[in-house]
Amino acid sequence: MLNTLFARFTRTGEPEADRRREARKAAPGGTVEIDGRAYPIVNWSYSGFLAESYAGDRKAGDRVDITFTVEPGDGRAFAFACKAMMVRVDPEARKLVGAFAEMDAATRAKLSRYFD
């Protein structure tokens, strides 16, 4: 009940579903490869991603090497390799949230330009 009373609302009067620091982009056709397996990306931002169909054994707090690829269909395909920290792993829903943890400066700059 309290979360209903104190929920944030959008200008349309609907409860706000997502309160992240950064806007997220959909990632149709995007994948994140972890431990040699590729998982579809639901959405992503400058700082991280949400993947689905995760069947691995990683836990929150693990730092892993990933290969991240998005192909939005607008001619702006984007791929890079980096380290990511697993933020949330939900084995029941088969979802994985990761934060980009380590990447070279050129990739970070390219990522920044992608979101501008």
In a domain, 77, yes or no: yes
Is 105 part of any domain? yes
- Helix then strand then coil, % of the chain, to nearest 5: 15, 45, 45
> In Å, how far are 6, 9, 13, 85, 94 from 17, measured between CA atoms?
13, 9, 12, 24, 20
| Neighbouring residues of 78: CB distance < 8 A, sequence distance ≥ 6 | 69, 70, 71, 110, 111, 114
Question: 18-61: per-residue pLDDT in tens?
Answer: 455 667 777 777 899 999 999 999 998 888 999 999 999 999 99
Model pTM? 0.76
For residues 1 and 45, which has the higher predicted lDDT (pLDDT)?
45
Domain hosting residue 32, numbered range: 22-115
Task: For residue range 54-95, list pLDDT tens digits in order.
Answer: 999 999 999 999 999 988 667 777 889 999 999 999 999 999
Within a domain: residue 17? Answer: no
Q: What's the number of domains the chain is made of?
A: 1
In a domain, 36, yes or no: yes
Residues in the chain: 116
6 falls within a domain: no
CATH assignment of the domain containing 84: 2.40.10.220
Q: Is residue 14 part of a domain?
A: no
